[in-house]
Structure 1
Amino acid sequence: MQIKDILLAPGNGAFFYDDQEAIRSGATQDGFIYIGAPTTPGFTSIRLPASSLSIGLVLADDTVVWGDMMNVQYSGAGGRDPLFSTNQISGLTSRVVAPRLLDIDASHFRDSCKKVFGPVEHQRLPLSVEYGVSQALLRAAAHLQCKTMAEIICAEFGLQLPTCRVPIYCQSGDAREVNVDKMILKAVDVLPHGLINSRQKFGVEGQTFLEFVKWVAARTREIGRPGYHPVLHFDLYGWIGQEIGLEPRPIADFICRVAESVPGFSLNIESPADFGSTQAQIENYAEIVSILDNRGSSARIVVDERCNTLEDIRLFAEAKAAHLVQIKTPDVGSIADTARAVLLCKANRVGAYVGGSCTETDLSAQVSVHVSVATQADMMLAKPGMGVDEAFSIVGNEQNRVFAMLSRRQARNENVG
């Protein structure tokens, strides 16, 4: 018996759960809170402290390996799972998942996930459960095989050991100017997210957003070190569509205008519009992508909303309905499915961005690094939280540690050979 006991520990996410619909509908921000009534089921106020639940697998040698369950910041929006309930998830895990965990060979990661994540009463387990438990299972396999988690992913998916670091993307939260400066001084690869999630931040016909984009480019040139040239990536939470309308051509026109305002920079535009359903999103995003490509624009479209599960990602990738897919790890579920999603994007020649949420934890962020590195994703999110420094250090340092261990392993193998 490799797993002899299960531990559960309630915890905190690194940011807050927010009612996206209430914010989109014009909720007023007062300091750090929002004024008004929530509209998304489960929310008792528009902004709630993020909660999490840790699961610990007690192995035969008394080592305990952990994973963290949580949902994303905008839970219940865009087809996502509802707001995370620690009590509900704890009860389900104890009742259903724990007995399954005691009856598996934890040294085989993918097989363990398959056995543990079977349906319950013909329904899939909550994605937060899959996410947290799969983190612990990956750590268990790594411990039992005396390997890194990245090596386990490579072995189980038939991949070569990685040699290239994955670019890191930081997000600013509402402290845009200060955090942009931090990102530039730390020379992050992709910046700044921007949190353009309201009409006030986007502006009439996007003018406020456009001025912010130009400021970020100018600031990068002003205080960045010589030769520093990041990708500019902005998450618009559907506001081009909200402000300009839901016709693909005017949306593409606006994106081209933004790209032309920052010559010399690569531009990623995430979630330009929300067309209300996965199928509508695929059809309209594919048209926007086609228009931009035909014009030779340097701008790239990134999909987030309405592209949650592995099946959603497959549909978007096969339809070329984005230049880059955000694989939002808690929404995908099992971390094995995150690996599959990256490989699926690559097979369809679509960019793979291993993202996630500010509501995550240090443990989930570290596991995401191993999967990103093993599958050689195009970029990965610095997480958790919105403070830049903490997330960048957690993700960046873990990536450096992974490559240090892999380099040592390779050197020893060469010496033996």
Structure 2
Amino acid sequence: MQIKDVLLAPGYGAFFYDDQAAIRAGATQDGFLYVGEPITPGFTSLRVPASSLSVGLVLADDTVFWGDVMGVQYSGAGGRDPLFETAQISDLTSRVVVPRLLDVDASRYLDACAKVFEPFEHKRLPLAVEYGVSQALLRAAAHLHRMTMAEIVRSEFDLPPQTRRVPIYCQSGDAREINVDKMILKAVDVLPHGLINSRQKFGVDGQTFMEFVTWVATRTREIGRPGYHPVLHFDVYGWIGLEVGLGPQRIADFICRVADNVPGFTINIESPADFGSTQAQIENYAKIVSILDNRGSNARIVVDERCNTLEDIRLFAEAKASHLVQIKPPDVGSIAETARAVLICKENQVGAYVGGSCTETDLSAQASVHVSVATQADMMLAKPGMGVDEAFSIVGNEQNRLLAMLNRRLAQNENVG
């Protein structure tokens, strides 16, 4: 069950790494570029092509199982790890991680993760490294046990068999209108993200944003198939707080106005404000959640920034400081931590959204599907990239194939019983 060799291959993320601080400060767009001076450490320009590092585990039978290491789009923002740099990550992986991988039993997934991801020089390994290597270990364990990755997660965490489909959420990027139409025609469960990441897109007093929300709801009714009724989910990157102020009451009032404009739809508002620290975020988001709940609003708050690690997620969930937590696998670390994060949310009766980033890869997206289904997350992100078609097909098809295998396994077990 040992790993006899490890392969490293530089690769590409599916989108770009962006300097969120510079964009928020007013950087202008020139075509696909953002123009201005970088603010976040590590960025030499405001938009950098996303890179990745593939880690391949060679088993005794010469089969190779891969996982992909990468950062998230807004690296270095909101307490996240710094900008991903392939050469540095490759060097660290070769020196520190590879020797550890050669010394573990690949059939024992959680044990292997625990040994490989021990601190180095009194510091945790980069979370992106944990994420990529844990994907490869999960695939290797699935091969050795003749199971799906979902079944390995289920077995390791002692979870019951589940075959419920997890709703899929698509993100639009800047091509909002075209991509919204695609999402509606494909009957996506949750849409459209919207990428409301600048004052221009949010508008004075949020007017531009409100008009976009209304348009999405109207368009859904116009071209959606009969009975189609998606959840509307908008990521505003803190702009409600930036525009109307950081008072929880004012933020809640604004969110209620948005929801009132589209009656009949459940509205998710992601990252309504950034209060500057994890503790401040928890305290103020809890107030916003309470106000919305007391009003019986059909709007829900989704936390992203300042809620990165497993411990962050635990604190938000226990404080009921969000209706739904975005669990960003590259920020959480090992994909086993993503599973733990979903279970923490469920224990605290808070929604669990297995998200991630447009900068991910096909391999990381597929691994995320297995964790989402095994833990029965409330929704998962269609990834990678900022298009709709590719990401929706990668995640949607992987889920459908997985459910077909799991249903077959259940039928076999029932027949045996």
Measured against the shorter chain, the TM-score band is: over 0.9
Paired with 2:263 and 2:407, the residues of 1 have a C-alpha distance of: 38
Alpha-carbon displacement from aligned partner over 1:9-44 (angstroms, at most 9, x marks no partner): 000000000000000000010000011111111001
| 1:257 CA displacement | 0.2
Displacement after TM superposition at 1:96 (Å): 0.5
SS of 1:384's partner is coil
The match for 1:362 is: 362
In structure 2, C-alpha distance between the alignment counterparts of 1:162 and 1:332, rounded to whole Å: 24
**Counterpart residue number, 1:412:** 412
Aligned to 1:79: 79
Matched, 1:313 2:343: no
Query: What is the alpha-carbon distance in structure 1 between the residues aligned to residue 297 and residue 322 of structure 2?
Result: 14
Q: Secondary structure at the match of 1:269?
A: strand
Shift, 1:2, TM fit: 1.9
> Which amino acid is 2:308 matched to?
N
Give the aligned partner of residue 241 of structure 1. 241
Q: How many residues align?
A: 417
Determine the C-alpha separation between the residues in 1 that align with 2:239 and 2:370: 33
Q: Secondary structure at the match of 2:349?
A: coil
Q: How far off its partner does 1:416 sit?
A: 2.7
C-alpha deviation, 1:408, in angstroms: 1.5
* Paired residue type of 2:385: G
Separation in structure 1 between the aligned mates of residue 332 and residue 53 of structure 2, nearest angstrom: 17
Q: What are the Cα deviations for residues 272-306 of structure 1, in whole angstroms up to 9, with x where unaligned?
A: 00000000000000000011011111100000000
**How far apart are the structure 1 equivalents of 2:93 and 2:385?**
26
Q: Could you say which residue in structure 2 is the equivalent of 1:9?
A: 9
Show the 5 A alignment for 1:114-263: 114-263=114-263
What is the DSSP-based 3-state SS (H/G/I as helix, E as strand, rest coil) of the residue aligned with 1:192? strand
Distance in 1 between the 2:392 and 2:280 partners? 35
Please report how far the alpha carbon of residue 410 of structure 1 lies from its aligned counterpart in structure 2 after TM superposition: 1.7
- 2:62 corresponds in structure 1 to 62
Letter in 1 for 2:72: V
Q: What's the counterpart of residue 351 of structure 2?
A: 351
Alignment of 1:240-319 (within 5 A): 240-319=240-319
Distance 1:413 1:289 in 2: 43
Query: Residue 173 of structure 1 aligns to a residue in which SS?
Result: coil
5+ long unaligned stretches in structure 2: none
Q: Distance in 2 between matches of 1:17 and 1:59?
A: 33
* 1:118-165 CA-partner distances (Å, limit 9, x unpaired): 000100000000000000000010000000000000001010111210
CA distance, structure 2, for counterparts of residue 78 and residue 196 of structure 1: 17
Write the distance in 2 (CA, Å) between the matches of 1:88 and 1:267. Answer: 41
Q: Which residue of 1 aligns with 2:389?
A: 389
Return the offset for 1:45: 0.3
Q: Deviations over 1:212-256 (max 9, x none)?
A: 000000000000000000000000000000000010000000000
How many Å separate the matches in 2 of 1:208 and 1:410? 49
Quote how far apart the aligned CAs of 1:415 are. 2.7
1:374 maps to 2:369: no
Deviation at 1:209, TM superposition (A): 0.1
Distance (Å, rounded) in 2 between the aligned partners of 1:414 and 1:242: 56
In structure 1, distance between residues paired with 2:171 and 2:163: 26
Give how far 1:197 is off: 0.1
Question: How far apart, CA to CA, are the structure 2 residues paired with 1:387 and 1:29?
Answer: 19
Q: What is the CA-CA distance between 1:409 and the residue it aligns to?
A: 1.4
Structure 1 residue runs of 4 or more that deviate by more than 3 Å after TM superposition: none
Code of the aligned partner of 1:155? S
> Partner letter of residue 20 of structure 1?
Q
Cα shift at 1:412: 2.0
- Residue 56 of structure 1: SS of its match in structure 2? strand
Alignment of 1:399 with 2:399, yes or no, is yes
Equivalent-residue separation in structure 1 for 2:124 and 2:298 (angstroms): 40
Partner-residue secondary structure (3-state), 1:106: coil
User: Residue type of the partner of 2:284?
Assistant: N
Relative to the length of structure 2, the TM-score reads: 0.99
Letter in 2 for 1:105: D
Structure 1 portions without partners, runs of 5+: none
The match for 1:32 is 32
* Separation (CA, whole Å) in 2 of partners of 1:151 and 1:254: 43
Q: Does the residue aligned with 2:312 lie in a helix, a strand or coil?
A: helix
Which digits, 9 at most, give the CA deviation of each residue in 1:358-389, with x for residues without a partner?
A: 00000000000000000000000000000100
